[in-house]
């Protein structure tokens, strides 16, 4: 039976997929990367659910991000085996109960059968499950942790974070990582080309910055170019404008990301749930569906967001 792996499009997701790939291949199983999952791309979930006669592995993707989860699970298990699922975002008990149809589930909460870690990443969960004690697994977990918790201690992690939105084939990236090749000349060339485009995109990001004050907190909204990761876009706003407490990046696809300055007492996980999303207290994301997002209707987008946030905080 073919094993098919799906992940988020983050460094943690890609590194976790590489751990699963490595573990399966070491055991002699045939495995391939199916693609990345994201709320703004429902086609990816449809592709996953259509994998007939396969064992499907999902890493670094919270089940609560899936619309109509019971129906999705029913459709998926009618065609394939849900072999594994991991995630680090807290989920509701009823959501976890639905995952009984999955063969193995790992999540970063202190519960029986899970890994009790306050700051776990999905790559670490996958490494512990599929390649415990493997040096490549430890390297991949370190890279993912470096990016996920904004440590910025390993240059390879920063380079990988730049490579992912560059358009470089993620299957090729995962294949290399799973073999223990963390960086090579192909990656370096693609990253250098991307950095030139990234610099221009960051300039455009700041040109469109719109600041709104909501209940004493200043939100910096901007239309984020698709080639910028959510972390890069939001952190750049915080770094470049000292008056912004919470950066909000909105993409033309409808993806929305929040990132708060250290010391800001707003729970961005709860906020993201208003946008069918999730994340962490200091960084989260979801999907904005009230308005098509574009330069032309930017004022309407800001008006709709401002109203939605005020309604949430005042309710």
| Range 75-94 average pLDDT | 93
| Domain end marker among 118, 152, 183 | 183
In the predicted model, is pLDDT for residue 109 greater than 90? no
Average pLDDT, the chain: 94
pLDDT at position 89 over 80: yes
The predicted model gives 37-63 an average pLDDT of 94
Residue 63 is assigned to a structural domain of this protein: yes
Specify whether 84 is located in the same domain as 223. Answer: no
Residue 54 has pLDDT above 70, yes or no: yes
Q: Given a cut of 70, is residue 119 above it in pLDDT?
A: no
Same domain, yes or no: 167 and 215 = no
The domain boundary, picked from 156, 183, 210, lies at 183
Question: Which of residues 230 and 110 earns the better pLDDT score?
Answer: 230
Q: What pLDDT score was predicted for residue 120?
A: 82
Greater pLDDT, 96 or 148: 96
Q: Count the domains in the chain.
A: 2
Q: Which domain holds residue 260?
A: 202-314
Among 225, 227, 217, 285, smallest CA distance to 257 is for 285
Does any domain span residue 191?
no
Q: Could you tell me if 243 and 139 lie in one domain?
A: no
Average pLDDT over residues 281-287: 92
Quote the CA–CA distance of 45 and 130 in Å, as a whole number: 24
Do the domain assignments include residue 289?
yes
- Within a domain: residue 190? no
Do both 286 and 215 map to the same domain?
yes
Residue 54 tokens read as: 């396969």
Contact 123, 140 (CB under 8 A): yes
**Which has the higher per-residue pLDDT, 190 or 110?**
190
193 lies in some domain: no
The verdict on residue 196 lying in a domain is no
Q: Residue 148 and residue 150: Cα distance in Å, rounded?
A: 6
Lowest-pLDDT range, 37-41, 238-242, 297-301, 305-309?
37-41
For residue 273, the domain's CATH number is 3.10.310.30
Note whether residue 94 is domain-resident. Answer: yes
Instruction: Assess whether 238 and 146 both reside in one domain.
Output: no
Say if residue 25 is in the same domain as residue 111: yes
Residue 14 forms part of a structural domain: yes
Domain CATH code at residue 82:
3.90.1640
- What is the band of 61 on the pLDDT scale with cuts at 50, 70, 90? very high
Q: How far apart are CA 115 and CA 95, in angstroms?
A: 18
pTM for the model stands at 0.91
Q: Are residues 179 and 224 in the same domain?
A: no
For the segment 178-193, the average pLDDT, to the nearest whole number, is 98
List, for residues 195-211, the tens digit of each pLDDT value.
Answer: 999 999 999 999 999 99
117 vs 146, more confident: 146
Kindly tell me the sign of the dihedral angle through the C-alpha atoms of 192, 194, 197, 198: negative
Looking at the structure, tell me whether residues 272 and 154 fall in a common domain.
no
- Could you report the per-residue pLDDT of 265-279, keeping only the tens digit for each? 999 999 999 998 888
| Domain shared by 29 and 83, yes or no | yes
Q: What is the pLDDT of residue 278?
A: 85
- Of the candidate ranges 107-116, 174-183, 274-283, the one whose mean pLDDT is the lowest: 107-116
Please tell me the least confidently modeled range out of 57-61, 170-174, 178-182, 271-275: 271-275
């Amino acid at each position: 039976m073919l094993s098919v792996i799906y992940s988020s499009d983050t460094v943690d997701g890609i590194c976790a997929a590489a751990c699963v790939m490595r573990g399966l291949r070491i055991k002699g199983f045939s495995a391939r990367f199916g693609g990345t999952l994201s709320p703004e791309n429902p086609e990816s979930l449809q592709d996953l659910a259509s994998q007939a006669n396969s064992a499907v592995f999902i890493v670094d993707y919270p089940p609560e991000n899936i619309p109509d989860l019971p129906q999705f699970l029913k459709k998926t298990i009618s065609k394939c085996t849900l072999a594994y699922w991991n995630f680090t975002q807290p989920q509701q008990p009823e959501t976890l109960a639905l995952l009984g149809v999955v063969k193995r589930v790992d999540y970063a909460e202190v519960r029986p059968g899970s890994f009790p870690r306050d700051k776990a990443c999905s790559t670490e969960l996958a490494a512990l499950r599929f390649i415990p004690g493997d040096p490549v697994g430890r390297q991949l977990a370190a890279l993912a942790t470096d990016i996920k918790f904004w440590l910025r201690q390993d240059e390879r992690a920063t380079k990988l974070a730049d490579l992912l939105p560059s358009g470089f084939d993620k299957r090729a990236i995962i294949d290399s990582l799973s073999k223990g090749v963390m960086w090579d000349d192909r990656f370096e060339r693609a990253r250098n080309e991307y950095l030139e485009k990234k610099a221009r995109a960051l300039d455009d990001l700041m040109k469109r910055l719109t600041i709104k004050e909501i209940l004493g907190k200043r939100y910096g909204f901007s239309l984020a170019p698709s080639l910028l990761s959510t972390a890069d876009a939001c952190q750049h706003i915080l770094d470049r404008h000292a008056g912004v407490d919470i950066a909000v990046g909105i993409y033309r696809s409808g993806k929305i990301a929040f990132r708060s300055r250290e010391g800001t007492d707003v729970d961005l996980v709860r906020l993201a749930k208003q946008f069918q999303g999730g994340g962490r207290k200091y960084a989260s994301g979801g999907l904005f569906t009230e308005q098509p997002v574009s330069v032309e209707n930017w004022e309407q987008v800001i008006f709709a967001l401002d109203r939605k946030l005020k309604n949430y905080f005042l309710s």
